[in-house]
Structure 1
Amino acid sequence: MHRITVIGGGLAGLTAAITVAEAGAKVTLHEAHHTLGGRARTTDGPYRTNEGPHALYNGGPHWTWLARRHLIGPLAPLPPLEATRLRLRHHGALRRTPPYAMLKLLHRATRHPAPTDTDFLTWATELAGEDGARAAAHYSAVALFHHDPGALSAAFVHERLRRATRLPPEAHYPRGGWAGLVDRMATHAWNLGVRLETGSRLDTLPDDSPVIVATSLDAARRLLGDDSLTWPSGRTALIDLALRTHPRSTGRTHTGDAFALSDLDAPGWLERFTAQDHTLAPTGEQLIQGQIPIAPHETKADGITRAEQLLDLGFPDWRERVTWRREAVATGRTGAVDPPGTNWRDRPAIDRGDDVYLAGDQVASPGVLCEVSFTSALTAASLALGRTRPEHTHA
């Protein structure tokens, strides 16, 4: 029987702990905070917000892994009417459909594999012109959180653009935010015998068992004393707003507010999460969350200003309807991005030697957004158990 230590109680840590416990290992999980979830925490109180979107894509192997264990739980259904209220800003004006050049790119891209060693803007411009390429790059920010998607690897961006535009949508939202999913995973881990130690920050590694380090890459670098543990990520201004329901709205129909608004002139996205999940805000209020990627030289104020410009377009009279507001910046906390000439295999390796393994959203594992955390955790767990062929490690 193995004894395995997991450091970090987010999605990656909980996935790793469950996997090795199911194999019969004795597991202790250490989480520095007093609550589990990592970046997948949901705030308490009347406004149930997350650090950015809380989507699960059903096209990845983690969906199957969760479903087999009955951990997905209730999902927030998108009312049919709301699906028609996606708005796009293009050349400063709102529109209901993507520009023709962007649609042409999406069509042609299905027949032209995106290269790894070329940036997305160059590759996409050759297929559909610069206007369509920039619009598509900016739309992809919903799954990238990066200020310049066009400068990243064409293969990396195209995979995310393809999955973000697929119909029917792959993205699904756990009802109530991440909290329910995290609670179900923690309960499952507990029932398997995992010892969950919250408020337990480790400054050194235990030397008597394999260790899975499922923290941010920054925290792993400090813990392991390994300066090579770096990889590019995004920097994003986050805004959360609660608005009184628009006066023209009746019942479940919100005729005055957009469901989601994507900026095709620059990377940015706003979404009214209460359109599909009324539990996230008190009755009579709407919860809007936005993410505006910002460059290294830009400030939070720059991002918030752009968010307010989008709000002016998609949410009439929003300034007079605000009941609650919160702003933040997420730096290096939005997952790995791959520059031209690199792919997920070039990121920091999961196997660090000496029975130490990494898991998280910036390590060498495939997938989109939180899928990377899941797949890396499964690989780390398999390696810690001594398996040679990890289960479900390819997207």
Structure 2
Amino acid sequence: MRKLTIIGGGFAGLAAAITAAEAGTKVTLHEAHRTLGGRARTAEGPYRTNEGPHAIYNGGPHWTWLKQRGLLGPLAPLPTSEALRFRFHRDGALRRVPPLDLLRQSLRAAEQAPVDVDFHTWATGIAGERAARAAAAYSAVALYHHDPGSLSARFVQERLHRAASLPPEANFIRGGWGELIDRMAARAWEMGVRVETSSRVDTLPLGDGPVIVATALPAAARLLGDPSLTWESGRTVLFDLALRTRKGDPFVVSDLDAPGWIERFTAQDPSLAPAGQQLIQAQLPIGPGESKADGVAHAERLLDLGFPGWRERVVWRREAVSQGRTGAVDRPGTTWRDRPAVDRGDGVYLVGDQVAAPGVLAEVSFTSAVEAVSLALRADRLDHAGHSGHSERLDRPDRPDRLDLKRA
């Protein structure tokens, strides 16, 4: 493939750019903002916050891809002493150990769960309603949705299984995800990718090679002029706090009465806040009729239980609502295959975390990015073979042209 244009410089756009450049393609990447990263940006300044919790799961395909290229970088391991400070909010009180029925539910593989039944109904039939509610609430850490029980049982169970795995799959990039983006950007430049920041694209550049659109789905719908490009996502209050350090604060408070998660990120990475301070990030999913104030009030109730005297220790706080920016959620009867397709035809490809690609959280962005490049390469070979006047077989076992999604 001679030329490729990528619109969007977040995690998916950079993964696509590096993959295409490694195949010898001349790549131009346009990013509307002055910095790369998209939702994977890490804030500048003394408090290195991300847009919600940003973990990288070592069971996903992007882990191996990043590690092979030396892009994973230093991780922030959690000290054993901090791991013991995991708290579960249930029946209005904090508890040190998770319910046994939650652990049993988390061990079930996603393949055991049906696609066309909601998670609450399926889990209740297996473990009882109390366990089903706790499991649904816990899974919200990887869903950002106010009612996980209403979603497809297969979809929720996959995320519950991954989020509650032992040993934990979740890992954290030291310094925040922005450090990973910086390494990926440097790799792209080394590979010859032309990166144009502060470069907003309002019209699809057709006729000059294939185009990969790596933006949020609403932006992609406007750019492609296709209002059908929609898929349900979560709506979540993001609540960030910097507190003066106090010995004994918990590492995590997971709300099992209603979806909610509070995490002290400086427990594993003290560099995220100035010395003597700790950075706490909370995500509280809210329903259609709820406001940011409702989510903040939920966070404050959990903070009152887990972080005594936190109000007197606040040195910085920030509140925001993230809507339609937390990945796809699948209703009963749907899977990732039903989301907007990667291949839009006419040399246009769509990537991101709400498109038809498998995985959890950032894995969807990565898998769709590699798939888009694979499809574009395949189409280019077919086009060249047709113009050269002879056919070329492209599906030989020794020459894979398409990403094996099941393996990924």
TM normalised by structure 2 equals 0.93
Query: Which residue of 384, 390, 393 maps to 2:376?
Result: 384
- Partner amino acid, structure 2, of 1:204: T
**Which residue matches 1:164?**
163
Q: Distance in 2 between matches of 1:127 and 1:210?
A: 48
Question: Is the contact made by 1:375 and 1:392 (CA closer than 8 Å) also made in structure 2?
Answer: no
- Partner amino acid, structure 2, of 1:90: R
1:110 CA drift (Å): 4.6
Question: Is the contact made by 1:61 and 1:392 (CA closer than 8 Å) also made in structure 2?
Answer: no
- Partner amino acid, structure 1, of 2:43: T
- Partner amino acid, structure 2, of 1:72: L
1:83 CA drift (Å): 0.7
Q: Distance in 1 between matches of 2:404 and 2:317?
A: 40
Stretches of structure 1 lacking an aligned partner (at least 5 in a row): 250-254
Query: Which residue of 296, 321, 336 maps to 2:288?
Result: 296
Question: Is the contact made by 2:378 and 2:402 (CA closer than 8 Å) also made in structure 1?
Answer: no
Give deviations 1:127-156, integer Å, cap 9, x for gaps.
110000000000000000000000000000
**Which residue matches 2:354?**
362
Q: Distance in 2 between matches of 1:77 and 1:105?
A: 26
**Which residue matches 1:177?**
176
Stretches of structure 2 lacking an aligned partner (at least 5 in a row): 380-394, 396-400
Matched, 1:36 2:52: no
User: How has the CA–CA distance of structure 1 residues 84 and 392 changed in structure 2, closer, same or farther, with 3 Å as cutoff?
Assistant: farther
Give deviations 1:259-316, integer Å, cap 9, x for gaps.
0010000000000000000100000000000000001111000000001011111111
Q: Equivalent residue of 1:385, what SS?
A: helix
User: How has the CA–CA distance of structure 1 residues 392 and 65 changed in structure 2, closer, same or farther, with 3 Å as cutoff?
Assistant: farther
1:85 CA drift (Å): 0.6
Question: Is the contact made by 1:234 and 1:333 (CA closer than 8 Å) also made in structure 2?
Answer: yes
Q: Equivalent residue of 2:4, what SS?
A: strand
Question: Is the contact made by 2:356 and 2:368 (CA closer than 8 Å) also made in structure 1?
Answer: yes
Give deviations 1:149-200, integer Å, cap 9, x for gaps.
0000000000000011111100000000011100000000000000000000
1:101 CA drift (Å): 2.9
Question: Is the contact made by 2:235 and 2:321 (CA closer than 8 Å) also made in structure 1?
Answer: yes
RMSD (Å) for aligned C-alpha atoms: 1.2
1:44 CA drift (Å): 0.5
- Partner amino acid, structure 2, of 1:229: L
Q: Equivalent residue of 2:166, what SS?
A: coil
Query: Which residue of 290, 297, 302 maps to 1:305?
Result: 297
Question: Is the contact made by 1:2 and 1:385 (CA closer than 8 Å) also made in structure 2?
Answer: no
Q: Distance in 2 between matches of 1:147 and 1:241?
A: 22
**Which residue matches 1:133?**
132
Matched, 1:374 2:373: no
User: How has the CA–CA distance of structure 1 residues 110 and 35 changed in structure 2, closer, same or farther, with 3 Å as cutoff?
Assistant: closer
- Partner amino acid, structure 2, of 1:59: G
**Which residue matches 1:155?**
154
Give deviations 1:36-81, integer Å, cap 9, x for gaps.
0000000000000000011100101111111111100000010010
Q: Equivalent residue of 2:378, what SS?
A: coil
- Partner amino acid, structure 2, of 1:54: H
Length, aligned pairs only: 386
- Partner amino acid, structure 2, of 1:235: R
1:45-84 pair list within 5 angstroms? 45-84=45-84
**Which residue matches 2:14?**
14
**Which residue matches 2:392?**
none
Matched, 1:25 2:25: yes
Q: Distance in 2 between matches of 1:393 and 1:21?
A: 21
Matched, 1:344 2:357: no
**Which residue matches 1:393?**
405
Q: Distance in 2 between matches of 1:106 and 1:2?
A: 47
Q: Distance in 2 between matches of 1:332 and 1:172?
A: 24
**Which residue matches 1:252?**
none
Q: Equivalent residue of 1:386, what SS?
A: helix
Query: Which residue of 321, 325, 336 maps to 2:317?
Result: 325
Q: Equivalent residue of 2:372, what SS?
A: helix
1:392 CA drift (Å): 5.4
- Partner amino acid, structure 2, of 1:87: R
